[in-house]
């Protein structure tokens, strides 16, 4: 039987009755767009996350875009972000009309290298978007102090890091806003697209809510133009169910990661956990110079792997106009040829994990970390 990177069917089986009831409730009440299920989820997420406001939207890419627009960022501005992330982070910056400015990653935790941020700050810089990549928090002390020194906004891309913590504080609550994706495979995932923005700033939250809803708070009053970015009632009802379980699921991910670490640390470079960080292992990413061999070997054993991400953003064709060379982002460039994501999801069993480990440890293949 094929071992998948993520097993969403196993998760559905474990909460089927709750999910089916929730979906049926939305259909019975025709609460498809906005409405009570969306409001309920917003309140529950804000409460469990420990923030004043949760503004729901259609997906995690929109969440970043809406946050930047609500901060007034646009043409003529620059926004700094990491070289190694999903393209959404950079796309959302460009969509506002601002210029994306990449910074290399640091080699241990793979997030933006805070020591290299100040070199990229110019009079046009308005914001920094750190990404808590794979579920491991970026160094929020260093990032916040640079932001304060230069008067920059911080918008945290938390798409991979629901309930990850830096020094015991949830990521997404350090900067003016934290943005989330509820894409199905994320640690908290809907059954379609969904996203949200969390914030403790009242004015910002009103502007974000307005922009996501055609520039309107009160029906038929439009102070500005906005966009249509709404969460479906069905997705909200599903997320309310899953929110009750995500704490336990994150604990299981952390447990599986610890076990992988023990079983693999002498054959590949296993993920590091900063002493001040709570890593929630959206992805379990190991590193080896023989990455492509390793992937082939696992594929031959019917074990899925992934690479997040095979090309650092500055080297994608989409950013060729920026004229970046490998030496400009040498850490991201090297890592992208060595990283590989192994099967990781809460329902992963020890038996399944052992099959993955055996395939990696196979007698003829030792991958020096």
Ligand X SMILES: *Cc1c(COP(=O)(O)O)cnc(C)c1O
Q: Smallest distance from the beta carbon of 366 to ligand X, in angstroms?
A: 32
Those residues with Cβ within 8 angstroms of residue 31's Cβ, 6 or more apart along the chain or in another chain: 37, 38, 233
d(CA 223, CA 202): 18
Q: Is 159 in the site for ligand X (CB under 6 A)?
A: yes
- Rule CB under 6 A: say whether 154 interacts with ligand X: no
The β-bridge partners of 82 are: 103
Choices 113-121, 139-147, 153-161, 220-228; region in contact with ligand X by CB under 6 A: 153-161
Does residue 106 touch ligand X according to CB under 6 A?
no
CA distance 180 to 171: 11
State the residue number with the nearest CB to ligand X.
Answer: 60
Residues in contact with ligand X, counted by CB under 6 A, come to a total of 15
Q: Does 183 bind ligand X (CB under 6 A)?
A: yes
Neighbours of 215 (CB within 10 A): 15
User: Treating both helix axes as pointing N-terminal to C-terminal, what angle do 35-49 and 233-243 enclose, rounded to 10 degrees?
Assistant: 30
Footprint on residues 191-250 left by ligand X (CB under 6 A) = 193, 195
Closer CB to ligand X, 26 or 129, in the complex: 129
Angle at 303 between CA 297 and CA 306, to 5 degrees: 90
Stretch that binds ligand X, among 35-43, 157-165, 251-259, 318-326 (CB under 6 A): 157-165
Nearer to ligand X, 66 or 267 (CB): 66
Q: Are strands 53-57 and 125-129 parallel, antiparallel or unpaired?
A: unpaired
Which parts of 30-89 interact with ligand X (CB under 6 A)?
59-61, 85-86, 88-89
The verdict on 131 binding ligand X (CB under 6 A) reads yes
Cβ pair 350, 259 in contact under 8 A: yes
Binding site for ligand X (CB under 6 A): 59-61, 85-86, 88-89, 131, 157, 159-160, 181, 183, 193, 195
């Amino acid at each position: 039987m094929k071992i998948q990177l993520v097993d969403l069917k196993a998760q559905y089986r474990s909460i089927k009755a709750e999910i089916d009831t929730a979906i049926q409730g939305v259909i019975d009440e025709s609460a498809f767009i906005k409405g009570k299920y969306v409001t309920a989820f917003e309140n529950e997420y804000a409460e469990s996350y420990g923030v004043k406001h949760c503004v729901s939207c259609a997906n995690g890419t929109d969440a970043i875009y809406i946050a930047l627009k609500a901060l007034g960022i646009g043409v003529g501005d620059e926004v700094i972000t990491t070289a190694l992330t999903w393209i959404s982070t950079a796309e959302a910056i460009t969509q506002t009309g601002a210029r994306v400015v990449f910074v290399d990653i640091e080699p241990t935790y793979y997030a933006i290298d805070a020591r290299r941020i100040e070199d990229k700050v110019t009079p046009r810089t308005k914001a920094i978007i750190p990404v808590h990549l794979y579920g491991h928090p970026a160094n929020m002390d260093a990032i916040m102090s640079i932001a304060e020194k230069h008067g920059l906004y911080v918008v945290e891309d938390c798409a991979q890091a629901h309930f990850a913590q830096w020094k015991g504080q949830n990521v997404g609550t350090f900067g003016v806003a934290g943005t989330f994706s509820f894409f199905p495979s994320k640690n908290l995932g809907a059954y379609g697209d969904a996203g949200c923005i969390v914030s403790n700033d009242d004015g910002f939250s009103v502007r974000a809510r307005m922009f996501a809803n055609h520039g309107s708070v009160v029906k038929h009053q439009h102070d500005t133009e906005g966009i249509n970015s709404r969460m479906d009632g069905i997705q909200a009802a599903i997320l309310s169910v899953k929110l009750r379980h995500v704490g336990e699921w994150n604990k299981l991910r952390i447990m599986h990661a610890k076990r992988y670490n023990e079983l693999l640390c002498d054959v590949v470079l296993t993920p590091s956990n900063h002493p001040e960080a709570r890593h929630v292992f959206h992805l379990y990413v190991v590193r080896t110079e023989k990455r492509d061999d390793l992937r082939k070997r696992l594929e031959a054993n019917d074990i899925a792997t992934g690479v997040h991400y095979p090309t650092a953003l500055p080297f994608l064709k989409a950013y060729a106009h920026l004229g970046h060379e490998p030496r400009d982002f040498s850490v991201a460039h090297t890592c992208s040829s060595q990283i590989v994501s192994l099967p990781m999801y809460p329902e992963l069993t020890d038996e399944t994990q052992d099959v993955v480990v055996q395939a990696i440890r196979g007698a003829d293949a030792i991958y020096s970390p």
